[in-house]
Structures are given as C-alpha cells and as structure tokens.
C-alpha cells in the first residue's frame, strides 16, 4: 500500500525490506543519501541508555549482539548476490573473491549485509543524486570496492577524512582519531553547492593592511605556458620569466592598472604577483577532503542525547548543504537517533529515516518534536509500527523486546536496564518527571505484559514501586485485565493515590494504573501523572528553522 499522505516519514523495520518495497521507494526517488552503518560485530548498536556503571543493557545486547556473525542468514544473502543476480556481475565476482580471501567470518557477514542494501540505495538514488557512506578504517577498503562495483569507479568523487577527535590513546599503535566518508554520485551530472570556509590564522599572515584597514594580498598575474607564446609580451617595463606568460590579456591588465589594483616595485614597474586581492571580496577557501574543523559532540553539549554513535549536526549540515537543495529528499537508512532527520528538517529538506528498533524511532520522534515547535515541524508519518490490536499482537509474537519497547513508547517511557536486581527486577521501563520547582526527579516504573495476566502481577508491581521509591507504577497489558486486577490496583483509599504538592490535594493520581494496549492506541485511556516537566528523554535543543548557521566571517 502506498503511503503518500505526508512527504516526511520514519520507517520501523529492516531497511533492506523497506527499501525493496517500491511503493515506499520507487526508482530514482531520492536526492541525497547519508548512511552511518554499524562497522563491525564487536560493538552493540542501537543502545540508547547505559547502566549507571557504564555497562550496557542486557536486553539490547540479547537483541543485537549477534547481528553481524556469519550464519544461515549471511549465507543465504551471499548466495542471493552471487547466484540470483541481485546486483551487478562485478558485485557478484567481488563477493566471491572476498569470501575466498576472508572466509566465513564477521567481516564477511558485515560485507554481505551491506552489499544488497547498497544495491537498493543505488536504485532509489536519482541520476542527479549523491550518496555519502560513513565508516571507519577497519572496513573502509572493503566497502570502497563494493561501492565501485555498484556505483561505478567513474562516479567515485572523494574519500573524505573526518578527524572526529584530537587524541585516542592506544598503547601499541597510532591513535585512531578519524573516520572515512565515501562520496559517490549516480552519474557525472549531480547537485553540487561548493562549501567555503574561513581563512586560517596562518593564511591571514600572508595579508597586509592598506591605509583604509582592509586586508589585501598580491595574486599572481602570470600563468605557466611552456608550449605557447601566448602572454609573452613586455608590459609597462616587466617581462614574464621564460617558462611563464601573462595570465590575462593586455586590455584586462591595463584596466586593473587604471583602477590602481596593480602592486608595483620600487622602480614603478608592475610586480608579477601584483594583482591586489582584498580579503573581504573573497568567498573563502574551498572545502577540501580533509575535515578537521568539525568536532565531536562534547559530553556537556546540549546537542548530546546519549546515543553512542551520535554524529554532530555540523557534519550533516555540511553534507546536506553541499549535495542538496531546499525541497530535496534526504534518506538515512540507519538513522539511529535522527541527526540526519533533524538537520534535514531544519534546512527545509524532505526526509526519510529507517531504523530497526522502536527505541530509535521513539528517540527520533522525541527529538524532532522537542527541537521544533508545532508550527514549525513539518507533518510526518511513522510506518511499520502497530496501529491496532491485531498488529500489536503480531509484534508481540514476533519479538518480545521490540513489543516492550514499542509499548513503552506509547506513554513516553524508556527501557529499564537494572541487571543487578535480576533479569528485569520486575521493571520493563521508567518514566521520569518533575512536578514542582525544586527540580527533584520523580520516578514512574512500568511493567509490560503480552501474555496472560492476573492479580498476583499487580501485587508484585506494588512491591516494585515501594522498593524503587517510585511514586507511580504502570501495568501495560496486551490482554484485557480482570475485574479483580482493577480492584487490586486501586481500592479507593487515600494511600492508593499520589498527590502532587505543586498541584494541590484536588489533583491526585492513582499509584497503580492498569492500561491496555487497545485503550492506549485508541486514546480512550492515558497515563495519569503531573506533567509539569517530562525528563525521561533528554530534549533536543530548540532551534528554529530560521537559525540555520551562516558561513563564518572571513576575519
């Protein structure tokens, strides 16, 4: 079924399956693609929250720890590439050579995962489009060969080196302080908006200051002409050297002389490097393929959201500004915490993001809705999430973790990860809030159940609320609760309610709340708690679309 109600979309699911759906992504429909795929199997991705001691969530490790190991799925995908013709012959030959060289290991599994996705990305990219593939030096040389086989060697534009940090301490080797970004286009005719940077302090040392206070320097008036007599003439007492000639016609030289733009020697003759160029008339230095001026996100930055592989917005601003125009469609098939989406929205592009976890979709939704006001945020659609009870039941059968994370997102909660108290310590999620001006964070604990439920689980939740010093406990159930469960949750006694000091005794909130997936989807029932300020997800820094960064001053 086609989904054209809104131009901007977030897709939940495997990006390969989403990309292969031509109702979602017709041929040549995307102007710019940026992807930052996971690099290797030794890291866990899509981890939005860490333990207090810095360790990772057990549930997320269970879900994603084996993603890139060689197995049946990798083997099936490999044979689809080399035998079923899903790609070019060059790609099939290359993947067979990789397997002979690498064998059946994690790196081969990673390359097999990437190859068919890059084939689909090439299909959906417009003839005037560009693709930027972000990776590290471990996999970059293999990925470049795959990109060459799919997009063609002639359409390779750059290997961009991004220095993401100043130092990375490693005892036995040089510090790995950079990432690689490959820049390819679909054809030789593509969107390109040159980026100019301010001049460095070292470059400014070459400039002098005239009587009016303007910075200027002398630009060479000659050009290399080893096989031509063009430009070999004497002008106002100056003759170019034997291996060079004047780089401009006599008429142009005379015009600059009359304008006072030619610098002279002590004897009054023109200098060969004598064309006066003022700094304030120059556009800046063209951006090169070595990017050392875009820093990583500092730990104290308002931009940081806690996502481990989050990239700075300045990096995406540069790519989007260089290779797209307002109104173009930008795609990120591994969109994570949504940096590409947020920047594309601010730069007035259309956007599409894909991610395989409900956690990432929830984080992106929170990011753009806190980043932009309701009046500024363009309408968007989330595709692939349950919209009714049958689809919720299907998700629960397919993947229990994904169902839990999705159910938590319905009330704005985040996943729990307290491994010290057992498998889940009776907690599937948390929701933090502030209800007074003291700044004290209050806690709501959440349990999610997709199977049979009863009063014993409600009693257990009461114990968890007390143990965790939470103010409210929420029981989200896929099945309809029994009347005994409802009575167990709230007897109507004063101790069954949380009263917010800031709101007064007339505003009381049930300490134990039973919510069904059906009611949450229909909007018939909502979580009740004081909503002075929600603090579960770090809000994105509010920036208006008019606040697009301008080119830095040259001075």
Q: Rounded distance, CA 37 to CA 23, Å?
A: 24
User: Under a CB-based contact definition with an 8 Å cutoff, are residues 137 and 40 in contact?
Assistant: no
CATH architecture of structural domain 389-534: 3-Layer(aba) Sandwich (3.40)
403 closest CA partner among 5, 136, 12: 12
The helix (H) or strand (E) run that includes residue 355 is strand 350-355
State both tokens at 97.
Answer: 């050579």
The number of angstroms, rounded, from the C-alpha of 132 to the middle of its chain's C-alpha atoms is: 12
Provide the pLDDT for residue 537: 52
Residue with tokens 């009263």: 499
Q: Rounded distance, CA 516 to CA 527, Å?
A: 11
State both tokens at 31.
Answer: 């102007």
Provide the pLDDT for residue 553: 41
Contacts of 171 (CB under 8 A, 6+ apart): none
Provide the pLDDT for residue 291: 94
User: Under a CB-based contact definition with an 8 Å cutoff, are residues 117 and 68 in contact?
Assistant: no
Beta bridge partners of 492: none
Contacts of 429 (CB under 8 A, 6+ apart): 404, 408, 413, 414, 415, 416, 445, 446, 448
Contacts of 270 (CB under 8 A, 6+ apart): 221, 235, 236, 237, 238, 253, 257, 262, 263, 264
The helix (H) or strand (E) run that includes residue 246 is strand 244-246
User: Under a CB-based contact definition with an 8 Å cutoff, are residues 357 and 332 in contact?
Assistant: no
Q: Rounded distance, CA 233 to CA 246, Å?
A: 8
296 CB-side CA count, 13 A:
16
For strands 125-135 and 350-355, give the pairing: unpaired
151 closest CA partner among 129, 181, 134, 178: 129
- What are the CA-CA distances from residue 378 to residues 2, 349, 367, 545 (Å)? 20, 10, 13, 11
Q: Rounded distance, CA 177 to CA 161, Å?
A: 10
User: Under a CB-based contact definition with an 8 Å cutoff, are residues 508 and 472 in contact?
Assistant: no
* β strands within 139-234, DSSP E: 156-163, 178-185, 196-197, 208-209, 215-219, 222-224
Provide the pLDDT for residue 210: 84
CA angle 162, 168, 174 (to 5 degrees): 90
Provide the pLDDT for residue 424: 54
The number of angstroms, rounded, from the C-alpha of 94 to the middle of its chain's C-alpha atoms is: 29
CA angle 269, 275, 281 (to 5 degrees): 155
State both tokens at 553.
Answer: 């001053």
Q: What's the distance, Cα to Cα, between the start and end of the chain in Å?
A: 54
Residue with tokens 């109507």: 492
User: Under a CB-based contact definition with an 8 Å cutoff, are residues 153 and 145 in contact?
Assistant: no
User: Under a CB-based contact definition with an 8 Å cutoff, are residues 400 and 62 in contact?
Assistant: no
Q: Rounded distance, CA 93 to CA 29, Å?
A: 28
Local structure of 393: helix, strand or coil: helix
545 closest CA partner among 377, 433, 358: 377
Beta bridge partners of 270: 264
The helix (H) or strand (E) run that includes residue 361 is helix 358-371
State both tokens at 243.
Answer: 């291996």
Residue with tokens 């001049």: 199
Torsion angles phi and psi, residue 28, rounded to 5: 50, 55
Provide the pLDDT for residue 309: 67
Is domain 8-43+122-195+291-383 given the CATH code 3.40.50.150 in the classification? yes
Domain ranges of the chain: 8-43+122-195+291-383, 197-285, 389-534
Local structure of 532: helix, strand or coil: coil
DSSP per residue, 182-235: EEEESSSS------EEPPPHHHHTT-EE-TTS-EEEEE--EEE-TT--TT---B
Provide the pLDDT for residue 302: 61
Sequential pLDDT tens for the chain (555 residues): 344 445 799 998 889 999 999 999 999 999 999 999 876 544 443 333 333 333 333 333 333 343 567 888 889 999 999 987 777 889 999 999 999 999 998 899 999 999 999 999 999 999 999 999 999 888 899 999 999 999 999 999 999 999 988 877 777 888 888 999 999 999 999 999 999 887 777 777 778 888 888 888 888 999 887 667 678 899 999 998 888 899 999 999 999 999 999 999 999 999 988 898 888 777 778 899 999 988 776 655 565 555 556 788 999 999 999 999 999 999 999 988 789 999 999 999 999 999 888 777 877 888 888 888 888 889 999 898 888 999 899 989 988 888 988 899 888 888 886 433 344 578 998 888 888 777 788 899 999 999 899 999 999 999 999 999 999 999 999 999 999 999 999 988 888 999 887 666 667 899 999 999 999 999 888 899 887 655 555 555 656 555 554 444 434
Q: Rounded distance, CA 151 to CA 182, Å?
A: 12
Q: Rounded distance, CA 121 to CA 140, Å?
A: 18
């Amino acid at each position: 079924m086609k989904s054209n109600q809104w131009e901007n979309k977030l897709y939940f699911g495997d990006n390969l399956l989403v990309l292969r759906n031509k109702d979602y992504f017709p041929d040549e429909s995307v102007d710019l693609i940026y992807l930052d795929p996971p690099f290797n199997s030794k890291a866990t991705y899509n981890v939005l929250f860490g333990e207090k001691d810095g360790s990772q969530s057990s549930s997320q490790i269970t879900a994603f720890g084996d993603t890139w190991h060689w197995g049946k799925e990798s083997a099936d995908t490999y044979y689809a590439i080399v035998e079923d013709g899903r790609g070019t012959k060059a790609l099939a030959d290359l993947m067979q050579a990789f397997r002979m060289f690498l064998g059946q290991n994690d790196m081969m599994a990673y390359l097999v995962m990437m190859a068919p996705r890059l084939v689909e990305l090439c299909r959906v990219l417009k003839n005037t489009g560009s693709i930027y593939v972000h990776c590290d030096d471990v996999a970059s040389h293999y990925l470049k060969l795959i990109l060459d086989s799919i997009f063609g060697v002639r359409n390779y534009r750059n290997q961009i080196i991004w220095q993401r940090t100043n130092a990375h301490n490693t005892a036995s080797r040089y510090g790995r302080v950079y990432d690689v970004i490959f820049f390819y286009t679909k054809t030789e005719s593509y969107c390109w908006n040159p980026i100019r940077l301010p001049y460095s302090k070292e470059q400014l040392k070459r400039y002098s200051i005239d009587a009016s206070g303007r910075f200027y320097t002398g630009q060479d008036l000659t050009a290399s002409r080893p096989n031509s007599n063009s430009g070999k003439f004497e002008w106002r007492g100056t003759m170019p050297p034997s291996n060079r000639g004047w780089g401009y016609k006599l008429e142009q030289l005379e015009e600059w002389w009359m304008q006072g733009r030619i610098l002279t020697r002590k004897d009054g003759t023109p200098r060969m490097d004598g064309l006066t160029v003022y700094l304030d008339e120059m556009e800046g230095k063209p951006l090169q393929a070595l990017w050392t001026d875009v820093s990583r996100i500092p730990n104290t930055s308002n931009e940081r959201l806690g996502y481990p592989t989050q990239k700075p917005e300045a990096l995406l601003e540069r790519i989007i500004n260089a290779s797209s125009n307002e109104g173009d469609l930008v795609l990120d098939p591994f969109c994570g915490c949504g940096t590409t989406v947020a920047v594309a929205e601010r730069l007035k592009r259309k956007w599409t993001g894909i991610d395989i976890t409900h956690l990432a979709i929830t984080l992106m939704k929170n990011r753009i809705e806190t980043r932009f006001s309701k009046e500024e945020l363009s309408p968007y659609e989330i595709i692939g999430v349950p919209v009714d009870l049958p689809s919720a039941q299907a998700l629960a059968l397919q993947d229990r973790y994904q169902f839990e994370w999705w159910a938590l997102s319905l009330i704005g909660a985040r996943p729990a990860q307290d491994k010290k108290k057992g498998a889940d310590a009776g907690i599937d999620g948390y929701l933090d809030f502030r209800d007074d001006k003291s700044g004290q964070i209050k806690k709501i604990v959440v349990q999610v159940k997709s199977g049979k439920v009863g009063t014993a689980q409600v009693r257990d939740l009461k114990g968890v609320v007390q143990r965790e010093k939470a103010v409210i406990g929420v029981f989200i159930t896929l099945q309809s609760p029994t009347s005994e469960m409802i009575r167990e949750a709230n007897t109507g006694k004063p101790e069954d309610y949380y009263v917010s000091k800031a709101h007064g005794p007339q505003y009381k909130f049930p300490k134990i709340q039973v919510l069904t997936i059906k009611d949450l989807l229909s909007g018939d029932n909502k979580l009740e708690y004081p909503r002075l300020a929600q603090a579960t997800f770090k809000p994105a820094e509010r920036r208006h679309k008019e606040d697009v960064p301008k080119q830095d001053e040259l001075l």
